Structures are given as structure tokens and as C-alpha cells.
């Protein structure tokens, strides 16, 4: 209850939560409001927004309803963002927890692996993975998760390093608890809050990475994603700029909402801010 009170003290966090709920509502209601295939031809190509009541946001180069693609694209954005975040956090927490708890050669080996992944920029490594394994929606989601785990791993490691010698951990060792019990039952629950907060950053970056892939036409072309629509709109950017601008605004609002929610969670879960 105190955590919720601290969260709702921030107007920015409330705005972010409202925006995120609206986007989730779009994703849930997409099949009801636009039951047809969003990639099916719906009308004359390049109808400007609000010029035809049947197509509130206009049509794209091929005559497909942009509003339908925006609503269905919300599903893809949240699916890729959420699933990739789960993958990245799971890998990062696993590696960071073992590195921070055991230290020594275990820490050295795992951190060298982490540094190897960070040698290349995320997007370059993502391009390599997509080029090798294909550009289906599942492949792209897994690839985004794989390139996003090093930062959560370092954060988890730092938390474990600061917690592994605390009194409650020493007490657990005295009582005969095994290492895995201490990691999962004692240290991890105390190390998770900052990792949960950072998950919002991972999700925002995951949405941007998928959109960048789709813009380059390297993502799955058979789904109605915002990035695919932006990539399609670049061919008519000089005259029908709205085709790229509308999904771009949708991405901007989604990333902003996730970031504001993450900031609100940081204010609510950060023990140093509890007295403020």
C-alpha cells in the first residue's frame, strides 16, 4: 500500500500509467474494433487522415487501413517488448546472480562473456542474429532478448555483491542453507526491485529495436507492426508523410509511457526515497 502511495505521488508516473493502459486497451480491443485482417486491402491507396470517415487515420501505399494497423500493431509492440524483456531479465538475473554470489573465477568467466556481448552494439548484433536465423516474429523476439541481457546482468551482479555478506545471508549460512536456497530465497528477493525498474528500460529499447529492424525491412513482413508501417511510409515520405508519422507517434507514446512507469516504480521501490 505504501508503495502504491509513493507511486501515485508522481504526476508523470500517473500519466505514464494512463498512456500504457490506453495502449494495452488498444491491443486488447483490436480484434473487436477491427476484426478484419489489418494487412488486407481496404480502400483507395493514400487517403489522408480524417478525409474519409471510414478510414480515420487514412490508408497506406497499398490501400490498407492505417488505424487497423495501429491497433493491431499495439499487440505486436507489447508482445515483442514484453517477451524480449522477460528473456533478457531471466538471462541477466541468472548470470548476474551467480557471478555476484560466487565471485572468484565464476565471476571472472561470466563477466568476460558479458563483456564479449557488449563488444558489439546491440543493433549490430541483432542484425547478425536476424541475418543468420531469419526474421520471423519469434526469432526477432528471442534475438532482441538475447542482445538485451548484459545490462540486467551487471545490475544484478552489483546487487548480489552488496548483499551476499549481509547479516541475514550469514545467518542463513549458519543455519545450513545451501547456496541455491540463499540465492533464490534470501538474496534475490532483495535484489529484484532495481532489476524490475530497469525492466522498463529494456522493454522500451526492445520496442525501438524491433521498429528499427522493421524499418529496414528485416522484421517479419507478415504482421501489422508499427515499424513495418514506418518502413512502408518512407517511400512516400515527401508527399504522404502521415504514413510514417502516425506509427512513429505511436512508438514515441509507448516508449514514453513505459519510461514514465519505470521512473514511477523507481520512486516507489527505491528505499532511499521512502522518506521524501
Q: What CA–CA distance (Å, rounded) separates 61 from 125?
A: 31
Count of C-beta atoms within a 10 Å radius of residue 167: 7
Q: What is the pLDDT of residue 208?
A: 92
Is the CB of residue 45 less than 8 Å from the CB of residue 63? yes
pLDDT digit string, tens, across residues 190-234: 888 889 889 999 999 999 998 889 888 888 888 889 989 998 888
Name the residue ranges covered by the structural domains of the chain. Answer: 26-46+54-250
> For residues 176 and 203, is the Cβ–Cβ distance under 8 A?
no
d(CA 115, CA 174): 35
Nearest to 221 by CA among 141, 229, 131: 229
| pLDDT tens per residue, range 131-159 | 899 888 999 999 999 999 999 999 999 99
Q: How far, in Å, CA of 248 to CA of 252, rounded?
A: 6
pLDDT number for residue 74: 94
Q: Is 132 exposed, middle or buried (0-12, 13-18, 19+ CB in 10 A)?
A: exposed
Residues 70, 56: Cα–Cα separation, whole Å = 11
Q: Identify the CATH homologous superfamily for domain 26-46+54-250.
A: MetI-like (1.10.3720.10)
C-alpha cell at 231: 518502413
Amino acid at each position: 500500500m505504501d508503495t502504491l502511495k509513493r507511486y501515485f505521488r508522481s504526476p508523470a508516473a500517473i500519466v505514464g500509467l494512463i498512456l500504457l493502459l490506453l495502449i494495452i486497451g488498444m491491443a486488447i480491443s483490436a480484434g473487436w474494433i477491427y476484426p478484419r485482417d489489418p494487412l488486407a486491402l481496404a480502400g483507395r491507396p493514400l487517403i489522408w487522415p480524417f478525409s474519409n470517415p471510414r478510414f480515420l487515420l487514412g490508408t497506406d501505399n497499398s490501400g490498407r487501413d492505417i488505424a487497423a494497423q495501429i491497433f493491431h500493431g499495439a499487440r505486436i509492440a507489447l508482445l515483442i517488448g514484453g517477451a524480449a524483456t522477460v528473456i533478457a531479465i531471466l538471462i541477466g538475473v541468472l548470470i548476474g546472480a551467480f557471478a555476484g554470489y560466487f565471485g572468484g573465477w565464476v565471476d571472472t568467466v561470466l563477466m568476460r562473456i558479458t563483456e564479449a556481448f557488449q563488444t558489439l552494439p546491440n543493433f549490430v548484433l541483432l542484425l547478425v542474429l536476424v541475418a543468420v536465423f531469419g526474421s520471423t516474429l519469434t526469432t526477432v523476439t528471442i534475438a532482441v532478448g538475447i542482445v538485451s541481457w548484459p545490462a540486467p546482468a551487471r545490475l544484478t551482479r552489483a546487487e548480489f555483491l552488496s548483499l551476499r555478506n549481509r547479516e541475514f545471508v550469514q545467518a542463513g549460512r549458519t543455519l545450513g542453507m545451501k547456496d541455491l536456497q540463499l540465492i533464490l530465497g534470501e538474496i534475490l528477493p532483495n535484489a529484484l526491485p532495481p532489476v524490475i525498474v530497469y525492466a522498463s528500460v529494456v522493454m522500451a529499447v526492445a520496442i525501438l529495436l524491433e521498429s528499427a529492424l522493421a524499418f529496414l525491412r528485416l522484421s517479419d513482413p507478415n504482421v501489422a507492426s508499427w515499424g513495418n508501417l514506418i518502413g512502408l511510409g518512407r517511400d512516400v515520405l515527401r508527399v504522404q508523410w502521415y504514413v510514417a508519422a502516425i506509427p512513429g507517434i505511436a512508438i514515441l507514446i509507448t516508449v514514453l509511457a513505459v519510461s514514465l512507469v519505470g521512473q514511477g516504480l523507481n520512486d516507489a521501490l527505491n528505499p532511499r526515497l521512502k522518506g521524501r
